[in-house]
Structure 1
Amino acid sequence: RHTRRTAGRAAYRAFYGTQLRRPIDENLAVYSAYWDRGVRCNPAAVEDAARALAPHVHSVWVVRPEDVGSLPPGVDYVLPRSVRYWQVVARAKYLVNNVNFPDFVVKREGQVHLQTHHGTPLKRMGLDQQPFPAAAAGMSFGRLLRRAARWDYSVSANPHSTEMWDRVYPCPYEHLETGYPRNDVYSTATDAEVLAIRERLGIPPHRVALLYAPTMRDYRKSFVPELDLVRIARELGDDHVLMVRTHYFYGRDPRLAEMQQRGLLLDVSAHDSVEELCLASDGLITDYSSIMFDYANLDRPVVTYAPDWEAYRAARGVYFDLLSGRPGETPGAVARTEDELVGVLTSGVWRSEEAARLRAAFRERFCPWDDGRAAERVVRRVFLGQRADALPAVVPVADR
């Protein structure tokens, strides 16, 4: 069996080598998101804009076998390391990803690699992870830099991201200070579309929907609830709906499914679109997840629940003090314990004037370019070759 695998890999490498000698297809783009998990995030928004603005470019998605069933109708896809996979990654003019393509993918002269990223960094990233064993375990920073060296363009959501990417991925790419394409929908979605999303999710119009979306911990292998979800749901009462989404690294949790069956909460971990969940909710409860930066575009309350802040900060490292209470660092109300969280939610502190003041400063700092036209700017610059100074001007936050 080992011999057959070795021979198979050698055959694929040889086939890939022949494809690399064939001409680049100027009208082909290969997309991937979250390590081939389907049509999602910034790459999905870029592709959607490309279909409208650059319809001559054909899109192919790299998708894992287990995610094929969730693809939208009509999506052209390849399985990782299949015969056609080697053909398209070798010959595509454009390669778009929100992480990195595997190390074995060769960057040819004439190809364009677009790195969209998938979140504004609170936690340390890239070379800044080196002092933190929980984050750096098993990582080769030399290989990381070689992957970043393939990028031609790096999408930035805000000045903070530009500064961080520039330092932690020190390679000669162009920053696209366009805003995040996946956040366009927060500016363009209509009230009717939001109501339709809520209806599909089973959220009655009269109920307040709170989305609980914690991030992963590098030092944990599975989802471990940091709070008693049953208690929170009961404290909120029947006029609220608690939506729970685990991090995609952890997958679905059987305990959440059981709680949903009992009518205590809505398990939305498997929902394809985080953006739809944000649009459907009236407020966000999170910890250190980058969802907070995107959600600020909606100008809806954000509650930071941070029971293990010291442990997270020590294990992963962070760029600023999320709990400082300073404008531009803290997005709203903060709770350190479960009792504090219950108090914040049941007293109305989560949507107080002070919370709104903090949210406004946070939005001003981290959402300056998210005006609904980020994907268009990316496509015009990358696919159509328009000059950066000719792209659509950004609408200031105060005028949205």
Structure 2
Amino acid sequence: MPRFSIILPCYKVQGFLRECLDSVLGQSFRDIEVIAVDDRSPDGCGAILDEYAARDARVKAVHLPENVGLGRARNAGMPHATGDYLFFLDSDDTLTPGALRAMADRLAGTGDPDVLIFDYVRTYWWGGTRRNALAPVLGAAADAGTFTAAERPEVLDLLMVVWNKVYRRDFVERHGFAFPPGYYEDTPWTFPVMLSAGRMAALDRVCVEYRQRRQGNILSTTSRKHFDIHEQYERVFAYLDDHPELHTWRGFLHAKMAEHCLDILAKPDRLPPSDKGEFFRRTAEMFRTHKPDGLTVAEEHRVLEGGYAGYVARRQAARAGRALERRAERVRAVAAGRVRRARSALLVRRPLDPDLAVYSAFSHRGVLGDPAAIHRAAREVAPRMRGVWVVKDEETAALLPPDVEHVLLGSAAYERVTARATYFVNNVNWPGGLTKRPGTVHIHTHQGTPLKYMGADLLGKPGARHGLDVPKMLWRADRWDYSLVANRHSELVWERAFPCHFTSLRSGSPRNDVLVNAGPGAGAGTRARLGIPEDHTVVLYAPTRREYRRGGHVERIDLARFAGDLGDGHTLVVRLHPSLAGGHARGMGLTDLHRRGVLVDATDEPHVEELMLASDVLVTDYSALMFDYANLDRPIVIHADDWTAYAASRGAYFDITAEPPGHVSRTYRELAWLFASGTWRDQEGGRLRAAFRERFCEYDDGRAAERVVRTLMLGEEAWTPGRVSLPSPAACDHDVLTTS
């Protein structure tokens, strides 16, 4: 008996069907059967199903003599199912890698509940992706173990479709659940199933890629078939009538019905205009019929207690109100702009404050990176200097240390501070509205040693510069006075990539001072905070984003497999690229694996240097983190299974596989062998690392932050160690400050 019976109804999806089947049959979890139902499809779906059934015994093709529609095609597949769990997958959608394994593990860990709910991501025909907005609901439910709908009613706010759940087959058969004909057939299945389930569980993981087709979604077409929604909800209320124990849900479902029908009515492309009045009246009639006694109707649903003319008038008034508000907002914006310009004109007449420095990092995300290291050094070396941080919002401000002064981006306080500050320290460009006053000093720290193309070099890589305005980027970089570099490679790259007027300072990377100066137990506190045993070997995996995939996320390694292959005595710590932290990449298994203790998801850790200190080895692909990590003189493994594609799409300044900081793997098998054999920490790896350190850690001596403060802010030419030679005002472009 297989674990999953995957029922796949097929109708006019020949262009997507192979991708769907491959995503199912290619799963690492293989204890499945696929019951593919050809709903008398007029295209090549039937032949494709027969082809797959002929070469894979797990596939059974069922050909219906006539077209019966999606719901009844699912019903036709159920008698053939022998698995523990039923999974109704739409044949134009796909499974994410590792989805079935994650489902099986979660089912086993929760004692085989009646229903398991999981997450999905919308994938658009133009390449975009968007994760379920209610993913946090799944996360909270997953923490709860098993539950009923009464215990966690918020799960009923999730998308009421059949394919984001699996169902225990004997539970379905015992209750006699089946799909009705017509549109919205998921509604009278999903609500009764979830309300009747004695035990449900949640999996906080993206398992299905929900394809948003440009055309072909029947629920997006203009048709009278949308009237089916009324009959479907009548079936839901009939189920309540037959099950008195569920009577308390009547008010909830009454509101859901109103919300669902009003949403259909509000869509401009669902109903012919001549049918909207009839649709409203039928909805209002059902609303009155099934309203429980004593129910207080929500404000947004009271329109159903009146007539259609009142509904239309209310909609028109709402549209007019929104138009007035937009007009008023434009007027307010114009007025605010005039006030801001007048205030700025007054502020720039005030003298600069020679002891005021403004800091920002990673687009105003907090006290981080090189600017944070310089700020700390300035507090110690030049306590008279006032340092103010620019943060993007109040939420970010709440996370700042209590003794850090800050202003919100765009606020009046921000304008006052930036108008008078002498020093500006940032690792990204300041906003375009910030005008560089004569006498100010802009110190640009960058975000590490560049491997991939940057700045003007991206002009030859149209895919990599998608969404970037390179000329505007260079215009903002024209404000730089100093560019900090950790090695001569960076110096040459920045001067080529940013052909602007600045001076390169061979300072080293301030954020790396903590790595260079670290003592033997520097990472112990971080290990303890993350719950990592003291005697474990910590493997830090830090992949970067990809430009050849929209959204940037490409899952290069099966993380659960890697964590398991590392074996006892090892902890895998994963840190995604910051640009992927808020997208669906976290939901592609990482969050779930962290919750189960398989690995540690450290993507949200604000200070990456703490993770580096807490680890014993770095595994990365092409992340600039490797250049910083080399300062620790600890093993580095480069997993370069897609180097050719990456270099072609993004561009690279040198071949990291030819000049690596350690061993290179090009397949997962090679990566696993490096760790299983102990080769990751052998002498050859040490030799490669030594050459890499000599080239790329050239100026990192542990005094970089202090060097920046003393030479650029305090003007201490005679500061030691090393004498700094400052350029004259007439120095030519791209002068270099060197220490001797």
Aligned to 2:616: 282
1:2 corresponds to 2:326 = no
Give the partner amino acid of 1:364: E
Q: How far apart in 1 are the matches of 2:450 and 2:462?
A: 18
Q: How far apart in 1 are the matches of 2:521 and 2:461?
A: 46
Aligned to 1:42: 370
Give the partner amino acid of 1:379: V
Q: Give runs of aligned pairs for residues 363-374 of structure 1, distance below 5 A.
A: 363-374=693-704
1:239 pairs with 565, 569, 573, which one?
569
Aligned to 1:214: 543
Residues 223 and 246 in structure 1, CA contact (< 8 A), matched pair in contact too: no
Deviation (angstroms), 1:331: 0.8
2:684 pairs with 354, 358, 371, which one?
354
Give the partner amino acid of 1:375: A
Deviation (angstroms), 1:349: 1.6
Change (3 A) 1:222 1:321: closer
2:499 pairs with 149, 165, 170, which one?
170
Deviation by residue 1:365-395 (Cα, 9 ceiling, x = unmatched): 00011111111111111111122x744239x
1:257 corresponds to 2:594 = no
1:321 pairs with 648, 652, 655, which one?
655
1:273 corresponds to 2:602 = no
Change (3 A) 1:139 1:272: closer
1:306 corresponds to 2:635 = no
Residues 98 and 118 in structure 1, CA contact (< 8 A), matched pair in contact too: yes
Deviation (angstroms), 1:235: 0.5
Q: How far apart in 2 are the matches of 1:193 and 1:355?
A: 23
1:114 corresponds to 2:450 = no
Give the partner amino acid of 1:83: A
Q: How far apart in 1 are the matches of 2:400 and 2:416?
A: 21
Q: How far apart in 2 are the matches of 1:174 and 1:334?
A: 36
Aligned to 1:194: 523
Residues 51 and 57 in structure 1, CA contact (< 8 A), matched pair in contact too: yes
SS in 1 for 2:522: helix
Deviation (angstroms), 1:75: 1.1
2:471 pairs with 122, 142, 155, which one?
142
Aligned to 2:388: 60
- Of the structure 1 ranges 69-78 and 313-322, higher mean CA displacement relative to structure 2 is found in 69-78
- Of the structure 1 ranges 342-351 and 53-62, higher mean CA displacement relative to structure 2 is found in 342-351
Normalized against structure 2, the TM-score is what?
A: 0.51
Q: How far apart in 1 are the matches of 2:664 and 2:601?
A: 24
1:70 corresponds to 2:70 = no
Deviation (angstroms), 1:222: 5.2
Q: How far apart in 1 are the matches of 2:657 and 2:358?
A: 40
Aligned to 1:291: 625
SS in 1 for 2:524: helix
Give the partner amino acid of 1:25: D
Deviation by residue 1:62-109 (Cα, 9 ceiling, x = unmatched): 112232232222111111101101111111010100011011110000
Give the partner amino acid of 2:680: W
Aligned length: 389
Give the partner amino acid of 1:159: R
Change (3 A) 1:347 1:302: same
Deviation (angstroms), 1:323: 0.8
Residues 152 and 172 in structure 1, CA contact (< 8 A), matched pair in contact too: yes
Q: How far apart in 1 are the matches of 2:655 and 2:349?
A: 50
- Of the structure 1 ranges 196-205 and 359-368, higher mean CA displacement relative to structure 2 is found in 196-205
Q: How far apart in 2 are the matches of 1:68 and 1:113?
A: 23
Deviation (angstroms), 1:137: 2.6
SS in 2 for 1:259: helix
Aligned to 2:558: 228
- Of the structure 1 ranges 58-67 and 247-256, higher mean CA displacement relative to structure 2 is found in 247-256
Deviation (angstroms), 1:8: 2.4
Aligned to 1:398: none
Deviation by residue 1:276-325 (Cα, 9 ceiling, x = unmatched): 0000000000111100000000010101112221111111100001111x
Q: How far apart in 2 are the matches of 1:88 and 1:170?
A: 29
Give the partner amino acid of 1:330: P
- Of the structure 1 ranges 211-220 and 312-321, higher mean CA displacement relative to structure 2 is found in 211-220
Aligned to 1:334: 664
Give the partner amino acid of 1:57: M
- Kindly, what percent of the aligned residue pairs are identical? 50
Give the partner amino acid of 1:89: T
Q: How far apart in 1 are the matches of 2:399 and 2:568?
A: 32
Give the partner amino acid of 1:124: Y
Give the partner amino acid of 1:256: L
1:89 corresponds to 2:89 = no
Q: How far apart in 1 are the matches of 2:576 and 2:397?
A: 21
Aligned to 2:91: none
Change (3 A) 1:2 1:266: same
- Of the structure 1 ranges 48-57 and 12-21, higher mean CA displacement relative to structure 2 is found in 12-21
Change (3 A) 1:6 1:336: farther
Aligned to 1:397: none
Give the partner amino acid of 1:212: Y
**Structure 1 unaligned residues grouped into runs of 5+:** 395-400
1:101 pairs with 430, 442, 464, which one?
430
Deviation by residue 1:143-190 (Cα, 9 ceiling, x = unmatched): 222222211111001010011112222223221101100000012222
**Structure 2 unaligned residues grouped into runs of 5+:** 1-328, 724-740
Residues 381 and 391 in structure 1, CA contact (< 8 A), matched pair in contact too: no
Residues 522 and 614 in structure 2, CA contact (< 8 A), matched pair in contact too: no
1:382 corresponds to 2:716 = no
SS in 2 for 1:357: helix
Give the partner amino acid of 1:100: N
Q: How far apart in 2 are the matches of 1:264 and 1:138?
A: 36
1:151 corresponds to 2:151 = no
Give the partner amino acid of 1:74: D
Q: How far apart in 2 are the matches of 1:220 and 1:212?
A: 22
SS in 1 for 2:442: strand
Aligned to 1:130: 459
Give the partner amino acid of 1:192: G
Change (3 A) 1:79 1:113: same
Q: How far apart in 2 are the matches of 1:139 and 1:386?
A: 38
Deviation by residue 1:252-293 (Cα, 9 ceiling, x = unmatched): 513322111111000111111100000000000011110000
Q: How far apart in 2 are the matches of 1:272 and 1:137?
A: 27
**What's the RMSD between the two structures over aligned residues?**
1.6
Residues 30 and 92 in structure 1, CA contact (< 8 A), matched pair in contact too: yes
Give the partner amino acid of 1:304: I
